[in-house]
Amino acid sequence: MTTNSSPQLWLYDTTLRDGTQREGLSVSIEDKLRIAKRLDQLGVPFIEGGWPGANPKDVQFFWQLQEDPLKQAEIVAFCSTRRPNSTAATEPMLQDILAAGTRWVTIFGKSWDLHVTTSLKTTLEENLAMIRDTIEYLRSQGRRIIYDAEHWFDGYKHNPDYALQTLEAAIASGAEWLVLCDTNGGTLPHEIGQIVQDVSSHLSFVICQETMTKDNGQRIIPQIGIHTHNDSEMAVANAIAAVMAGAKMVQGTINGYGERCGNANLCSLIPNLQLKLGYSCITEDQLTQLTEASRFVSEVVNLAPDEHAPFVGLSAFAHKGGIHVSAVERNPLTYEHIQPEQVGNHRRIVISEQSGLSNVLAKARSFGIDLDQLKAEAKEILQRLKDLESEGFQFEAAEASFALLMHEALGGRQKFFEVKGFQVHCDLVEGKETSNALATVKIAVDGKNILEAAEGNGPVAALDAALRKALVNFYPQIATFDLTDYKVRILNGHTGTAAKTRVLVESGNGRQRWTTVGVSTNILEASYQAVVEGLEYGLLLHSQAEAAVKAST
């Protein structure tokens, strides 16, 4: 827990620039604006918006933020030093940076002599001039500078004297932050810590011995930041090692998105730094928004959330083994390193064939069902669970189906509707990529039979549409239900086309999500089971919500 006396760390998010370099990740201008505003709410002080001028999307992004600024965060433009053998004042890309209208600009320059001679194809001295000229020009235009020392650790290990000269050039020109970048992601924590300490000692000596650039008569004392990549699975550990060695700014991305293996994951860094090491990054209230922010960003960029991510993953505080569940029920500290609510997550009791009675009792309580006084029924539910999982059902990933199973075992499963039968017809047209499907369903609601048909771009879509069409007049809330995910797994592939299939269907209503399961040797039958239970559980949630409102009034 942080206090008013906790040392301050400055978070710098680069999801909108470095994060979007992840393979398979693409965002629109609207997506970038939504993410920026969500990070602003989270309390991130610096948000790197992109490279103005590199593409039209980034230009428009910065223009729109000038019209509708963020509440508290500084939006930062990103750019390289000027090109060799030119001048910053005549560099077109720097004019785009100025047009972006940001107060802060991040400039990256070469630290590794190999890159200077091989990538830039220029001299070591010209590279130093490029750093000085670029920063001095932007400073003359009223901008504040964060200097990203690209490939810093590789450069320092190869030629420490020259690498330090690049930082000295940035300091002399007026950079306020010197961010050391492990661009290739190959450095280990013990190296990071030692090099950051070495750099801090050297810069303290330089600052004491030389005349620094002044700003309104005040000496600029640059601070050190860290930017790590995850190619050795060390990005978070390396960033923490740098902080422990004196770094005051931590750069990273939400969910660790980034090129190759990704960047340091802010969703892991923030709670580790704040809850474990006592640094002040964001407020406690903002920290409780971390899980929601992680999932929001994953939704916007259209990537499935990492369910096993530390702190914010769905399974981060999930307990499956019966002994674990029993212990956590008595004292959460036995198997949880923090309180899930501190990061906006929650404890989950997982139900599977490995479950004991304690799992069933705990899971029932999470659904508002008290089985402690009904041990016989609880044992029956546990046996039913194990029997079904032996047939291929999987309830740890389909908690809504397990809730319905419990209600049925207790004699309280509400019959919203009954499916009398269904048929699905598919037309496969040669030369077309998709098939048309027609589903016909017969259902009964309150003793009334309804026959409906609907088309879809596949058999499951057609079946889902026909069920909704038949039910929506009786249950208008079904119009708000969405089928958000559909997963199929073959359980015994050695049997070929006779294999048993498990289908998981995730549904939602805009506020909640739930998953149901179906198993059959017929994939349509398995899909039917999961889709029907998904609709049934959604209606159960709506019914419970209405009952709660009536009870409160």
* pLDDT surpasses 60 at 340: yes
DSSP state of 188: -
Q: How far apart are the first and last CA of the chain?
A: 39
**CA–CA separation, 106 and 99 (whole Å):** 15
Q: Is 491 helix (H, G, I), strand (E, B) or coil?
A: coil
In the numeric block, which tokens belong to residue 109? Answer: 């320059």
* Structural Rg of the chain based on CA atoms: 29
Q: What percent of the chain has pLDDT over 70?
A: 90
Q: Which of 106, 82, 111, 86 is nearest to 95 (CA)?
A: 82
The string of DSSP letters for 13-29 reads E-TTTTGGGSTT----H
Q: How does the average pLDDT of the chain come out, rounded?
A: 89
Task: In whole angstroms, give the CA distance from residue 246 to residue 225.
Answer: 9
How much is the average pLDDT of 365-378? Answer: 70
Q: Which two tokens stand for residue 166?
A: 């690049």
Instruction: Give ranges for CATH 3.30.160.270 in the chain.
Output: 418-552
Residues with Cβ < 8 Å from 2, sequence gap 6 or more?
274, 278, 279, 280, 281, 284
Q: Please report where in the chains the tokens 């959460």 appear, as a residue.
A: 332
Say if residues 227 and 180 touch (Cβ distance below 8 Å). yes
Evaluate whether 539 touches 478 at the Cβ level (below 8 Å): yes
Mean pLDDT value of segment 363-377: 69
Per-residue model confidence (pLDDT) at position 51? 96
In sequence order, what are the residues at sequence separation of 6 or more whose Cβ sits closer than 8 angstroms to the Cβ of residue 518? 502, 503, 505, 525, 526, 527, 528, 529, 530, 531, 533
Which pLDDT score, from 0 to 100, does residue 268 have? Answer: 98
- CATH assignment of 418-552? 3.30.160.270
Q: Where along the chain do the CATH 3.20.20.70 domains lie? A: 10-282
Measure the CA–CA gap between 321 and 359, rounded to whole angstroms: 8
Lowest mean pLDDT among 56-65, 213-222, 374-383: 213-222
Q: Give the number of other CB atoms < 10 A from CB of residue 26.
A: 9
Environment class of residue 439 by beta-carbon count within 10 Å: exposed (0-12), middle (13-18) or buried (19+)? buried
Kindly report, residue by residue over 217-228, the tens digit of the pLDDT. 456 789 999 999
Strand order, beta sheet including 513-520: 482-490, 501-508, 513-520
Contact yes or no for 109/149 (Cβ under 8 A) = yes
What pLDDT is stored for residue 360 in this prediction?
72
What is the rounded CA–CA span in Å between residue 278 and residue 6?
Answer: 6
Task: Quote the longest CA-to-CA distance of the chain.
Answer: 91
The pLDDT score that the predictor gives to residue 457 is: 84
pLDDT tens string 165-219: 999 999 999 999 999 999 999 999 999 999 999 999 998 877 665 544 445 445 6
Alpha helices in 176-234 (DSSP H): 189-209
User: For the residues 154-163, what does the mean pLDDT come to?
Assistant: 97
Q: pLDDT grade, residue 106 (50/70/90)? A: very high
Q: Within 10 A of 511 (CB to CB), how many other CB atoms are there?
A: 8
The residue with greater pLDDT, 356 or 459, is 459
Tens digits of per-residue pLDDT, 11-23? 999 999 999 999 9
The CATH class given to the 10-282 domain equals: alpha beta
Residue 290's alpha-carbon distances to 10, 107, 251, 341, 505, in angstroms, are 16, 29, 16, 10, 26
pLDDT at position 351, please? 65
Taking the C-alpha atoms of residue 250 and residue 9, their distance in angstroms, rounded to an integer, is 7
Q: Place 356 in a pLDDT band, splitting at 50, 70 and 90.
A: low
Token code pair at residue 36? 């920026």
Q: Where are the beta strands (DSSP E) in 111-150?
A: 144-150
**pLDDT reading at 105 higher than 70:** yes
Task: Give the pLDDT mean for 89-96.
Answer: 96
Asked if the model's pLDDT at residue 145 lies above 90, the reply is yes
Q: Tell me which residue has tokens 């992004």.
A: 61
423: confidence class by pLDDT, cuts 50, 70, 90: very high
pLDDT class of 370 with cuts at 50, 70, 90? confident
Res. 435 pLDDT band, cuts 50 70 90? low
Question: What does DSSP assign to residue 8?
Answer: B
Dump the DSSP string for 313-347.
STTTTEE-SHHHHHHHHH-GGGT-SS-GGGGT---
Number of helices (H) and strands (E) in the chain: give both, helices first.
Answer: 18, 18
Strands 74-80 and 214-215: unpaired
Report residue 418: phi and psi, to 5°: -130, 125
Average pLDDT of span 471-491 = 89
